[in-house]
Amino acid sequence: MKTHTIYGKENIEEGALDQFYEALDQPHTVKAALMPDAHLGYTLPIGCAIATEGYIFPSYVGYDIGCGMSAMKFDCSGKTRMPLEATYDRIKQRIPVGFKYNDRDQNIGPLLEEISSTDELKSRFLDNGLRQVGTLGGGNHFIELGYDEDDYLWVVIHSGSRGLGHKTAGRYMRMASPDGKCREGHYGLDVTSKEGMDYIKDMNFCLEFAYENRFLMMKKIRSILGDPDVLTTINRHHNHAELVDGLWVHRKGATHADEGLMGVIPGNMRDGSFVVRGKGNSDSLSSSSHGAGRVLGRKKAKKTLDIKEFSDTMDGIVANVSEDTLDESPMAYKDIFEVMELQKDLVDVVTHIKPILNVKG
């Protein structure tokens, strides 16, 4: 019997609910859960966890394979008056954002030797992957500095597998599609087929790439801050698929929340991020929200939101507050405090990080 759970149904738009129920109705779906930050996505709503049997779905993981969060707590004060403007500039100088990438290969250790991949992905990785690693990307990807209730400094990063993951996802979506084109739809790959096994192999490579991507950025920022001692490190994906008890659990914009597992749930540029500990709730497929969730699409946000209100609400935070980032303003997102309240049975809040600096692509 198929089962499903929806958290915060009253806050989820009708279109996202329609996508969810359509996915639940697919023959290979066994169980699904919709998180309180859910909104319309590509094939699946973003903020969804879905378990399938015998098949894996590239579109359920999405284009940014391994997109996720990293956070590091340092043994120093977050409220100390560091030169925030200068720190912002140094981060932008050291870490490429948007479509930019490094001007030379980065040293990330034995990635190729430890993680297998298909020859095509390995060739793509050798072509420019080592220049893409350690880069932020654009959209809602960000680097943030902030402090917690005990005044410890944190750095929080949201990023993924960059162009490497995007091209890999597109390749397997075309394989799964009935006409060889990338298109929305519930098109899966048999996990016993060559194509299915190759996707799993390449997905795992991209997951490791995304992990290393965030780690390298964190390493650079720690250097900018003067190499303070590290007290806590978290690095977690929220776009991935894993085999659990014979089922493929896909998380598309959902934070892995096994019992005791630490994670990071960001809110917006003004309200910061929450460090959480998972409760391993089976009803949610051991998942939680991956953020606040959008309430306005990017185009609508840029047309309807007010730049002065955006500027006023960001008072005291060093960030790019402009027409270019209006679609990332706090008003474009759901209330993160309400979202956290709706998932108290999924995660425990460990700490709340209040931002003092935000870098976006």
HSE, side-chain direction, 13 A CA sphere, residue 52: 26
pTM as predicted: 0.96
Q: Tell me how far apart the alpha carbons of residues 17 and 24 are, in angstroms, rounded to a whole number.
A: 10
Q: Report residue 124 as tokens.
A: 């793509």
Strand locations in the chain, DSSP E?
3-6, 29-39, 46-52, 55-56, 68-77, 142-147, 152-159, 189-190, 230-237, 239-244, 247-252, 254-256, 262-268, 272-278, 287-289, 347-360
Evaluate whether 218 touches 228 at the Cβ level (below 8 Å). no
Residue 19 phi, psi dihedral angles, 5° rounding: -60, -40
* H or E element that contains 88: helix 84-94
β-strands 152-159, 142-147: how paired? antiparallel
Q: Tell me how far apart the alpha carbons of residues 198 and 159 are, in angstroms, rounded to a whole number.
A: 24
Specify the fold of 3-295+333-360.
Answer: tRNA-splicing ligase RtcB (3.90.1860)
Evaluate whether 78 touches 145 at the Cβ level (below 8 Å). yes
Reading the chain (361 residues) residue by residue, the pLDDT tens digits are 799 999 999 989 999 999 999 999 999 999 999 999 999 999 999 999 999 999 999 999 999 999 999 999 999 988 776 799 999 999 999 999 998 999 998 887 776 666 789 999 988 888 888 899 999 999 899 999 999 999 999 999 999 999 999 999 999 999 999 999 998 999 999 999 999 999 999 999 999 999 999 999 999 999 999 999 999 999 999 999 999 999 999 999 999 999 999 999 999 999 999 999 999 999 999 999 999 999 999 999 999 999 999 999 999 999 999 999 999 999 999 999 999 999 999 999 999 999 999 999 7
Q: Tell me how far apart the alpha carbons of residues 265 and 274 are, in angstroms, rounded to a whole number.
A: 5
Q: Tell me how far apart the alpha carbons of residues 60 and 58 are, in angstroms, rounded to a whole number.
A: 5
How is the chain split into domains, by residue range? 3-295+333-360
